[in-house]
Amino acid sequence: MNFQHTDDRRMLADSLNRFVAKQYGFETRDRIARSPEGCSADLWRQFAELGVIGALFSEEDGGFAGGGFDIAVVFEALGRGLVVEPFLGTMLAGSAIAFAGSPQQKELLADVIGGTQIAAFAHGEPEAHHALDHVQTKANLVDGQWRLDGVKAVVQHAEQADFFVVSARTSGAVDDAAGISLFLLPAGTAGVSLRGYPTIDGGRAAELTLQGVTLGADALIGSEGEAGATIEYSIGKGVLALCAEAVGAMDVAKDATLDYLRTRKQFGVAIGNFQALQHRMADLLLEIEQARSAVINAAAAIDADRTTRERALSAAKLTIGRIGALVAEECVQLHGGIGMTWELPLPHYAKRLVMIDHQLGDEDHHLARFIALGRND
């Protein structure tokens, strides 16, 4: 496996890291994260101008990259700055359209990549417990039009979205793999209501309620009842993105902790000289490198066959879940009481690391999925 990034990826990483460092300092991030919008429209446009959104999509879809390592490079840099703009939801929704959408639907990707439209992916439901096949939202075809009814949970940046990609069941039982369809739903459609709220790690999400929502036949993405593969593919890219974001956040938390150990003194010497703390930090560094290796493996497998891809993604996500919690706990403990103060960036990184484990399937979910995929070989 070649671990060296291409020149284009290195340039993208350098540009994005510089931009985040200069324009997305912690005070700026904290202000945006606590704002009523939960993101910055101005910075979103600037990210688009840098080509960051385009890096998440292939040339065929109007971007210029879109590979596993491109996604990893972008989200690792975003993780370093705890960026709260709607990259994940936009990539999930855009990937679903790119994977199965009609030529007319794919025309929306130009606006998404250009930063003039925000997309949100509405698939998770209150009782799903991370199961991709659990869909209670119903869609019925009545007189040539689709009628949607149901509830979607924790839709990131739903209040700022211009359109949604929504899953709904068109046939079968609640947990059937077949019978799930995807629909393109413009924001503001009659029957759509949102209950927004701030998330614990910054930004905003919402519960999306659909009551008698009527859509034209052209709102269907792909074939009726066959969206399972599209959802799995899109969620897989999201899992990779979250794992890479976590590695970026881990690096910042690690560096901040090392700096603290070098400067904080007890008994007239820096506490970093104490052997017990050195051992804890050495163990942490090894764990972070293991997490990085898991992300590299997942990025390399993103275009492999289904079993190889999904096992690599689940392996990375369960690794990130365990190590992310460890990094959060150790870095806060090594800082002592100051590690819990709101004004210090570190606890915000710790919160994000813990919450990443709960997005798109937690450690337990992906361990079970990894095992089940192995049995299906």
Segments making up each domain of the chain, as ranges: 7-113, 119-225, 229-375
Q: Name 121's bridge partners.
A: 165
pLDDT over 80 (residue 375): no
Residue 253 has what pLDDT? 97
- The partner residues of 280 in beta bridges, in order of sequence, read none
- The domain covering 7-113 belongs, at the CATH homologous superfamily level, to Acyl-CoA dehydrogenase/oxidase, N-terminal domain (1.10.540.10)
* pLDDT band at residue 272 using 50, 70 and 90 as cut-offs: confident
Please answer whether residues 330 and 278 qualify as being in contact, where contact means their C-beta atoms are separated by less than 8 angstroms: no
What confidence score (pLDDT) does residue 339 get? 82
* Band of residue 265 on the pLDDT scale cut at 50, 70, 90: confident
pLDDT tens per residue, range 79-133: 999 999 999 999 999 999 999 999 999 999 999 999 999 999 999 999 999 999 9
SS3 assignment, position 155: strand
| CA atoms of 316 and 296, how far apart (whole Å) | 9
Q: How many helices (H) and strands (E) does the chain have?
A: 12, 10
Tens of pLDDT, residue by residue over 217-242, are 999 999 999 999 999 999 999 999 99
Give SS3 for 187: coil
State mean pLDDT over 326-336: 94
Q: What is the pTM of this model?
A: 0.95
The yes/no answer on whether domain 229-375 falls in CATH 1.20.140.10 is yes
Please report where in the chains the tokens 């898991």 appear, as a residue. 294
Residue 283 DSSP label:
H
Identity of the residue numbered 319: T
Which residues share a beta bridge with 210? 150, 192
Query: Is residue 94 helix, strand or coil?
Result: helix
Q: How far apart are CA 169 and CA 283, in angstroms?
A: 47
Distance CA 360, CA 141 (A): 30
119-225: what CATH class? mainly beta
Euclidean distance between CA atoms 155 and 122, whole angstroms: 6
pLDDT one-digit tens code per residue, 156-210? 999 999 999 999 999 999 999 999 999 999 999 999 999 999 999 988 999 999 9
Extract the runs of DSSP E, i.e. beta strands, from the chain. 119-122, 138-142, 145-156, 163-169, 180-186, 192-198, 204-216, 220-221, 265-266, 269-270
CB neighbourhood size of 65 (10 A): 20
Tell me if domain 7-113 and domain 229-375 are identical in fold: no
